[in-house]
Amino acid sequence: MVRFARFSFTVAVAFSLLAVSPAQTLKTNIQKLSGWQGCSACAGKAGTGPVASFSMTQLIAAPSLSGGASKQHISGSTPYSNVLWWKQLGANNAVTHFVYDVYFYVKTPSYAQALEFDVNQSNGVHKFIFGTECNIKAGQVWDVYDPAGHAWKSTGIHCGVPTAFAWHHLTWELYRDSTQVHYVSLTLDGVKHLVNISYNARSSTTKEINVAFQMDGDKSMHTYDAWLDQVSLKYW
């Protein structure tokens, strides 16, 4: 039976700051698309972290909401090893606004150091990294990434430990200007929080748009799995 659950939040609120353009692109069920890529060392600090064993299996019937979830797996023996998966969606330099929407499910959430949900855009001049994570074992808060500073920063918004054996619905609203990333809001299981934090982008000659998901291993490097479903990205 499919269940939905809430995280525990102490702050409730707000409203969207993103005005939707009629000329928007919507990619749906991204977890079903072919061409996903993954790596372990690149997911660590400075892209040279310890290596974990990992796999991704698509079109999982259960647990699933759409009948085609993806299952991500991480294991290994080196503490704090991580795994990153991403899916390239093409390039569009004119795009400035993003809504990343994803359902996720974890059977043993206490084994995760953190769960990360990202959107990345490069326009040939800057790389706009919208990195977000529920930092489960280091404060149970939502962190966001400072691209130019190469550092995670706390939002102060509580995320807690996801309820096991339950689907959780996460939406991030994001935008960028010519030089900065702006984290507008997050909505988790129907509870919305205004984030309103900005950081400088970093330099890049690449042109791309992609979505990403990362699983972080803990000190004991517990083996665990995570499922993604109904992954979508709206951008304009």
Question: Is-contact 164 109, C-beta < 8 A?
Answer: yes
pLDDT computed for residue 200 by the predictor: 98
Residue 3 inside a domain? The answer is no
What pLDDT score does 6 carry? Answer: 41
**Look-up: residue for tokens 């619905």?**
169
> Which pLDDT score is estimated for 17?
52
Are residues 174 and 193 in contact, defined by beta-carbon separation less than 8 angstroms?
no
| Contact yes or no for 52/221 (Cβ under 8 A) | yes
Is residue 6 one of the residues assigned to a domain? no
* Phi, psi values for residue 45, rounded to 5°: -60, 130
Q: Domain of 57: which CATH number? A: 2.60.120.260
Confirm whether 10 is domain-assigned.
Answer: no
Asked if residues 32 and 59 have their Cβ atoms less than 8 Å apart, the reply is yes
Per run of 10 residues, the mean pLDDT along the chain (length 236 residues) is 42 45 88 98 89 98 98 97 98 97 98 98 98 97 98 97 98 98 98 98 98 98 98 98
Give domain status of residue 155, yes or no.
yes
- How many domains are there within the chain? 1
Find out whether the peptide bond into 61 is cis, omega within 30 degrees of 0: no
Check residue 21 and give its pLDDT.
59
The answer to the question of residue 13 being in a domain is no
> If you write DSSP's letter for every residue of the chain in order, what string do you get?
---B-----S-------PPPPSS-EEE--GGG-S--EEESGGGSGGG-----EEEEEEEE-SS-SSS-EEEEEEE-SSTT-EEEEEEE----TT--EEEEEEEEEES-GGGEEEEEEEEEEEESSEEEEEEEEEETTTTSEEEEEETTTTEEEEEEEE---PPTTSEEEEEEEEEE-SSEEEEEEEEETTEEEEEEEEEE-EE---EEEEEEEEEEE-TT---EEEEEEEEEEEE-
Residue 188 in any domain: the answer is: yes
Please state, in angstroms and rounded to a whole number, the distance separating the CA atoms of residues 119 and 110. Answer: 25
pLDDT of residue 11: 36
Q: Does 196 reside within a domain?
A: yes
> For residue 45, what pLDDT is reported?
83
- For 50, list phi and psi in degrees, rounded to 5: -65, 160
Contacts of 195 (CB under 8 A, 6+ apart): 142, 144, 155, 157, 183, 184, 185, 186
- Residue 79 — φ and ψ, nearest 5°? -55, 145
DSSP string computed for 93-142: TT--EEEEEEEEEES-GGGEEEEEEEEEEEESSEEEEEEEEEETTTTSEE
Provide the pLDDT for residue 13.
37
169 domain residue, yes or no: yes
pLDDT of residue 25: 97
Host domain of residue 89: 25-235
Left, alpha or beta for 61 (phi > 0: left; psi -120 to 50: alpha)? alpha
